[in-house]
Amino acid sequence: MELKDLQPAGLREGESSVGGNTMKVEIEPYSCVSSGNCLMVAPKVFDQDPEDGRVILLTEEPAAEQRGNVDKAIFLCPAQAIAWAEEDQS
Ligand code: SF4
């Protein structure tokens, strides 16, 4: 699969929820290997700690136009340290 073939992770353009549950970005900073790939493709969602280079999440709920970039970051992260997570509304 190539980057251009990525399909949004359970979200269609303009959607912020699946089945009534809000989708949020989650990171695992201790799994991060400081590659910087995520902030290259989604600099409005991710930053890097200036001390150790680990990922910093700028927003759990990125704007609709940023969601495709989050998908790219998930695809490009070598440490599988980024994921979408459903926030249970019940
Ligand atoms: S792409 Fe993954 S490993 Fe690289 S900085 Fe982002 S979270 Fe860390």
Q: Which of 27, 31, 32, 49 to mutate to test the pocket of ligand 1 (most atoms within 8 A of CB)?
A: 32
**In the predicted structure, residue 10 carries a pLDDT above the cut 80:** no
Whether 42 is in a domain gets the answer yes
Structural domain of residue 54, as residue ranges? 31-90
Whether 68 is in a domain gets the answer yes
Q: Which two tokens stand for residue 12?
A: 């269609």
CB of 35 within 6 A of ligand 1: the answer is yes
Whether 39 is in a domain gets the answer yes
Whether 5 is in a domain gets the answer no
CB of 55 within 6 A of ligand 1: the answer is yes
Segment 23-39 mean pLDDT:
96
Q: Which of 90, 88, 81, 78 is nearest to 25 (CA)?
A: 81
Q: Which of 33, 58, 69, 70 to mutate to test the pocket of ligand 1 (most atoms within 8 A of CB)?
A: 33
Q: Residue 58: which CATH number? A: 3.30.70.20
Structurally, how many domains does the chain consist of? 1
Whether 17 is in a domain gets the answer no
Whether 53 is in a domain gets the answer yes
**In the predicted structure, residue 20 carries a pLDDT above the cut 80:** no
Q: What is the pTM of this model?
A: 0.81
Whether 88 is in a domain gets the answer yes
Q: Which atom of ligand 1 is closest in space to residue 27's alpha carbon?
A: 7
Comparison of pLDDT for 34 and 20, the residue scoring more: 34
pLDDT digits (tens, 9 = 90+) for 50-82: 999 999 999 999 999 999 999 999 999 999 999
CB of 40 within 6 A of ligand 1: the answer is no
The pLDDT of residue 9 is: 55
> Whole-number mean pLDDT of the chain?
86
The pLDDT of residue 90 is: 63
End-to-end CA distance of the chain: 35
